[in-house]
Amino acid sequence: MIVLKRIIKAGFINFSRNGLVSWAAVLVTTITLSVITAIILLQAVLYFSLGQIRDKVDVTIYFNVSAPEDQIMLLKSSLEKLPEVAEVSYTSAEEALRIFRERHEKDYPTIQALDEIKENPLGAYLNVRAKEVSQYESIANFMKSDNALVLGGDDIVDKVNYHQNKLVIDRLNSIISGAQKLAFLVTLILIIISIVITFNTIRLTIFISKEEIGVMRLVGASKMRINGPFMVEGAIYGMIATIITLLIFWPVTVWLGNNMTSFLGLDMYDYYVSNFLQIFVIILLSGVLLGIISSFIATRRYLNK
């Protein structure tokens, strides 16, 4: 414990003694953590937007006008048991007619034609939402399978609009997959660049102390006793940079929340506040680990001579 206390104390002394160079390292670490925070927020916007699009995609099963409601409910119950299905909503023939009238309330010839028929020409339908976009095909295949035929699905179903929506569903699936891969690649590249910059800055602070490292080696100090203070110093860079980064993004997210919510589709300030603890832990661990690892690697150059 005495050695540990001395190492921690030496780390704080090194930080204060290096002065401007220490704050330069904090600045670089802050830029690194700001990049990571920006990536977290951009990914939140990306996944929110993709989620909004995903929620608007569904498969609609239209039934014949004469289809009995009990058979429709039986088929609905079977669809809800499928592991791919997230939700199945039922719209009765009467509700379908009401929605149709509201949608075409200004189309007088269509409304007049409906009034002349005096009967409801529309049948009930089911809207099926899958858990993943790629699972709609298996739901459509279920409708063609023997399971659906046993339930009388072949007799009561008028049409399933999966094939009309297939092109849109396939494109959306490709966009989601491509966006996730691109986000991962961009994140990885930016983090690597940030690590390299931070590593070189911390190496500069250690270069200033190379003579001190040489003296400590001559008097027989252990590698941990030499490495320790610099690793503590690196952790200090990370902790201070974390506080600065979170303070910077507070007004930034307030501005984004007030001015860009309609464009982004997500209130960035609400997201930042509701996920603050999670973001804080990610940024703090990133900053501290970045400082410790960079310091450890940089001091090895002088310890291995």
Q: What is the pLDDT of residue 150?
A: 46
For residues 276 and 180, state if they share a domain: yes
pLDDT in tens, 14-40: 777 777 777 888 888 888 888 888 888
Last residue of one domain, picked from the residues 166, 181, 196: 166
For the beta sheet containing 125-130, the strands, ordered from the edge strand earlier in sequence to the opposite edge, are: 85-91, 125-130, 59-63, 157-160
For residues 186 and 44, state if they share a domain: yes
For residues 217 and 269, state if they share a domain: yes
Helix (H, G, I), strand (E, B) or coil at 67: coil
CATH number at residue 162: 3.30.70
- Give the count of domains, the chain: 2
Q: Which domain holds residue 109?
A: 58-166
Q: What is the pLDDT of residue 156?
A: 77
The answer to whether residues 65 and 122 touch, using CB atoms and an 8 Å cutoff, is: yes
Does residue 134 surpass a pLDDT of 80? no
Last residue of one domain, picked from the residues 116, 150, 166: 166
For residues 38 and 178, state if they share a domain: yes
For residues 142 and 255, state if they share a domain: no
Does residue 244 surpass a pLDDT of 90? yes
- What is the longest distance spanned by two Cα atoms in the chain? 104
Q: What is the pLDDT of residue 246?
A: 93
- Name the residue with higher pLDDT: 281 or 54: 281
Mean pLDDT, residues 42-48 taken together: 81
How many other C-beta atoms can be found within 10 angstroms of the C-beta atom of residue 270? 12
The answer to whether residues 249 and 34 touch, using CB atoms and an 8 Å cutoff, is: yes
For residues 151 and 177, state if they share a domain: no
pLDDT in tens, 205-217: 677 767 777 777 7
For residues 162 and 182, state if they share a domain: no
For residues 104 and 221, state if they share a domain: no
For residues 89 and 145, state if they share a domain: yes
Ranking 6-10, 33-37, 169-173 by mean pLDDT, the lowest is 169-173
The answer to whether residues 260 and 41 touch, using CB atoms and an 8 Å cutoff, is: no
Mean pLDDT, residues 270-289 taken together: 91
For residues 158 and 74, state if they share a domain: yes
- Give 74's pLDDT tier (boundaries 50, 70, 90): confident
For residues 188 and 254, state if they share a domain: yes
User: Strand locations in the chain, DSSP E?
Assistant: 59-63, 85-91, 125-130, 157-160
Last residue of one domain, picked from the residues 118, 139, 166: 166
For residues 90 and 228, state if they share a domain: no
Whether the predicted model's global pTM rises above the 0.85 cut: no
